[in-house]
Amino acid sequence: MMKENRTTIYTLAEELGVSVAAISRAFDPNSRLSQEKRKLILATAKKYGYKPNKMASRLSMDPIRIGVLNFSYIKAFYTEILEGIRSAYENLKDYKIECDIRVLQRGEDQMSDALEILDEFLIKKYDGVIISGMYEECVVEYVNKLADAGIRVATVQYNLPDSRRLFSSLSNYEVIGQMAAQLCGMLLRSASCKKTVMFTGNHASPTHRTLIQSFRAASAENGFEIVDIYDTQDRAEVAEQMVNRAFREHPDIAAIYASSANSLPICRFLEKNGDARSVVFVASDVFNDLYPYLEKGYIDATIYQEPFKMGYDAFDRLFRSLADAEEVEEVVYSTPRVVLSSNLYCFR
Amino acid sequence: MMKENRTTIYTLAEELGVSVAAISRAFDPNSRLSQEKRKLILATAKKYGYKPNKMASRLSMDPIRIGVLNFSYIKAFYTEILEGIRSAYENLKDYKIECDIRVLQRGEDQMSDALEILDEFLIKKYDGVIISGMYEECVVEYVNKLADAGIRVATVQYNLPDSRRLFSSLSNYEVIGQMAAQLCGMLLRSASCKKTVMFTGNHASPTHRTLIQSFRAASAENGFEIVDIYDTQDRAEVAEQMVNRAFREHPDIAAIYASSANSLPICRFLEKNGDARSVVFVASDVFNDLYPYLEKGYIDATIYQEPFKMGYDAFDRLFRSLADAEEVEEVVYSTPRVVLSSNLYCFR
DNA sequence: TTGTATGCGTTATCAC
DNA sequence: GTGATAACGCATACAA
């Protein structure tokens, strides 16, 4: 077995007749080192194909401390985001990361509790903070306080573009709206009546505003007409009322797009109405209670945001930004998936 | 700033009055250590939530050496697989991995060249080997030789279930066939004529046999009829002949499913024939030349296998199996995606 | 600015 | 079986 020829700082130091410290410093832009020496080192490093081993380097450094605040809206959805964050942490923790995860629930906990936690993260001088599920204006100020202290903030699911967060990990709602429209169009292709209604979540959230706009814009080119849009306010009772009202006001509905996870009341309505099976129905998200309706054909397709991936990406990129000083794009999007009964099996 | 309280082997060693070596050994099942001591150590480790740092441990061990052999069939597809493998390597190389990647091309290189490389991997006593794009019977023997030498073998894209490979990273062709059928059914929903033809790649490969079977099985429940299946032999000229023949033999074709990446000749045919735009067309894979046909609407949907992910998963899991002695499922599937013109943008 | 020495968390080698 | 101790590849406090 041949002796391995790994090139390390020692190899380079010897080769160039400098100290290992010099080699090490050459790769840290904040480290003082003469221009020429740095240049020389970096050049020969490239020649040897040498890259510092992040593992070994992190080993001799202070741990990176990351705080996570999850203010859950729809529980299942945010659970998946959290699982993504945890999974990324699990994959990266050998790099000496400490992770402080706090989970609050809208309804049970108050916004003030959430903001208090952000202040706690500030006091503890964490290196990075991930905020998920918060879009309210009042959060901006807290994010900026963190940023002022040199703490890098990532947001998940909501953008907070007016804050000084480092980046956001988001669903691409513009694309989702277009996909929903195209699916409706495809399913209505040879249909005679193409009247379509949309059921949204809470109109107040930026999410649904984008979805409405995008779905509406794409309706024409996909050859159908949106006759009405109903706000379910993300509450089951309201959704139930709305679906009844919709079919009363438009008895000849040909297609439905539900842009929120609040689609079960609609499913139940369709199930009760015998011939409603022929109504085209495009839903959102993937969760347990939805499965039977996809399998029975009440739902034709649902669009999945992959919240796990959103959480994973947020943690992963925040770490890389912290550890490698890697540049991060301001927004990273998850790629929405079309889920049908035929591939549902892959998601359960 | 508080002093950090990381628990390490030293913490535990001190706590239990044993040496750090003992702690280390406790986590290696092959290491000799008295039963009671091991038990005690493992118990208190759990109490402290201690897990050995894989990073630091790999640092003091010999590098893990992995050989990769890519025998490309469709170039674009295998390039993506390779990129996935490279990306996983990039993410994991801090764990002291050495990676020897060999790329051959069917047509230019011979099977014997490929097998020779496997023998070279054997002689070099690599720890793991990844084989991608090889399904022929003769490969089995070589895989088994590697396995005999204690080398763990993973295959990508083809299964080789009769060999003693450790696991395979595959597309789920059964699901893909069902998805294609459901998409055809959806697009034909209100159509009067539902005659469908299928164009496959090389019938010889296990891939297309599965796809045909799965697509055929799902056609009935999706309400359409398969009137013919044409083998394009994965060659453009043949595909061109076949599509001409298909429309000659069945002038009233309502839908087409092309299960191989060899779908461009079909696109061109449809483009030439004025009213062919109304023919339902479900294609396979995502690559540059396909974009315009999706955008113009000749292709309604294409099913993407995410070869990048297949390569990534293969490398990632092989490493974990090697480094952590983690159990690996025998088969890991990528999750096929539905790509439409509306979300095509996410893939280019 | 530059070099020396030490530590990071773990395994391997060698003694006992 | 068990315990010291030298690596592993790198960053940094400290000294020069």
Query: In the prediction, which pLDDT does A3 show?
Result: 36
> Lowest-confidence range among A178-182, A344-348, B112-116?
A344-348
- A333: tokens are 């999007």
Domain end: A59, A75, A98, which one?
A59
From the CA of A21, how many Å to the C1' of C4?
9
Instruction: Report yes or no: A110 and A132 within 8 Å, Cβ to Cβ.
Output: no
Contacts of B306 (CB under 8 A, 6+ apart): B334, B335, B336, B337
Helix (H) / strand (E) containing B110:
none
Residue that the structure tokens 């009202």 belong to: A245
- CATH number for the domain spanning B16: value is 1.10.260.40
Same domain? A131 vs A216: no
What tens digit of pLDDT does each residue of B67-113 get?
999 998 788 889 999 999 999 999 999 999 999 999 999 989 999 99
- A136: tokens are 């309210």
Judge whether residue A264 has pLDDT over 60.
yes
Beta carbons of A342 and B175 less than 8 Å apart: yes
Same domain? B191 vs B248: yes
- The closest CB to that of A59, out of B55, B96, B186, belongs to B55
- Tell me the helices (H) and strands (E) count for chain B, helix number first: 13, 12
Pairing of strands B337-339, B301-304: antiparallel
* E runs forming strands in A106-149: 128-132
Same domain? B124 vs B41: no
Query: In the prediction, which pLDDT does B5 show?
Result: 67
Judge whether residue A2 has pLDDT over 50.
no
Cα angle, residue B250 at apex, residues B247 and B255 outer, rounded to 5°? 80
Judge whether residue B191 has pLDDT over 90.
no
Same domain? A187 vs A255: yes
3-state SS, residue B79: helix
Contacts of A212 (CB under 8 A, 6+ apart): A177, A198, A200, A203, A229, A259
- B144: tokens are 């088994």
Judge whether residue A70 has pLDDT over 50.
yes
Number of domains making up chain B? 3
Predicted confidence band of residue B276 (pLDDT cuts 50, 70, 90) = low
Predicted confidence band of residue A30 (pLDDT cuts 50, 70, 90) = confident
Instruction: Report yes or no: B213 and B177 within 8 Å, Cβ to Cβ.
Output: yes
- The closest CB to that of A189, out of B187, B218, B301, belongs to B187
B-facing residues of A in 307-336 (CB < 8 A) are 333, 335-336
What tens digit of pLDDT does each residue of A144-194 get?
999 999 999 999 999 999 999 999 999 999 999 999 999 999 999 888 899
Checking each nucleotide's C1' against the CA of B21, the nearest proves to be D3
Domain end: B39, B59, B79, which one?
B59
* E runs forming strands in chain A: 64-72, 97-105, 128-132, 152-156, 167-171, 195-200, 225-231, 255-258, 280-284, 301-304, 331-334, 337-339
Beta carbons of A190 and B189 less than 8 Å apart: yes
Judge whether residue B274 has pLDDT over 80.
no
Best of A317, A343, A345, A348 to mutate (most B CBs within 10 Å, chain B): A343
Query: In the prediction, which pLDDT does B192 show?
Result: 87
Residue of A nearest to B191 (CA): A190
Beta carbons of B175 and A300 less than 8 Å apart: no
**Greater confidence, A41 or A277?**
A41
- A153: tokens are 């903030």
> Lowest-confidence range among A2-16, A61-75, A86-100, B41-55?
A2-16
CA distance B144 to chain A (A): 22
Query: In the prediction, which pLDDT does B277 show?
Result: 62
Beta carbons of B191 and A190 less than 8 Å apart: yes
**Interchain CB contact of B35 with A (< 8 Å):** no
Same domain? A246 vs A231: yes
**Cα-based distances in Å from B30 to A60, A336, B24, B190:** 29, 45, 11, 65
**Cα-based distances in Å from B194 to A190, B181, B220, B253:** 12, 12, 11, 8
Amino acid making up residue A124: K
Predicted confidence band of residue A34 (pLDDT cuts 50, 70, 90) = confident
Same domain? B136 vs B160: yes
Same domain? B149 vs B245: no
Same domain? B122 vs B240: no
Predicted confidence band of residue A277 (pLDDT cuts 50, 70, 90) = low
Domain end: B59, B79, B101, which one?
B59
Q: How far apart are CA B184 and CA B196, in angstroms?
A: 8
CA distance A53 to chain B (A): 5
Residue that the structure tokens 């020779």 belong to: B116
Query: In the prediction, which pLDDT does A217 show?
Result: 97
Q: How many residues does chain A have?
A: 348
- CATH number for the domain spanning B151: value is 3.40.50.2300
Percent of residues, chain A, with pLDDT higher than 70? 98
What tens digit of pLDDT does each residue of A218-233 get?
999 999 999 999 999 8
Same domain? B276 vs B287: yes
Contacts of A103 (CB under 8 A, 6+ apart): A70, A72, A78, A82
Judge whether residue B207 has pLDDT over 90.
no
Residues of B in contact with A96 (CB under 8 A): 6, 53
Q: How far apart are CA B233 and CA B197, in angstroms?
A: 16
Same domain? A141 vs A185: no
From the CA of A39, how many Å to the C1' of C3?
19
Same domain? A69 vs A155: yes
Question: What is the extent of the structural domain holding A259?
Answer: 173-306+341-347
CA distance B278 to chain A (A): 10
What tens digit of pLDDT does each residue of B209-252 get?
899 999 999 999 999 999 999 999 888 999 999 999 999 999 99
Q: B91: which DSSP letter?
A: H
From the CA of A25, how many Å to the C1' of C4?
15
Same domain? B275 vs B325: no
**Cα-based distances in Å from A112 to A71, A133, A153, B142:** 11, 14, 19, 64
Burial, B169: exposed, middle or buried (Cβ in 10 Å; 0-12, 13-18, 19+)?
A: buried
Query: In the prediction, which pLDDT does B143 show?
Result: 97
Mean of pLDDT values over A106-135: 95
Instruction: Report yes or no: A70 and A133 within 8 Å, Cβ to Cβ.
Output: yes
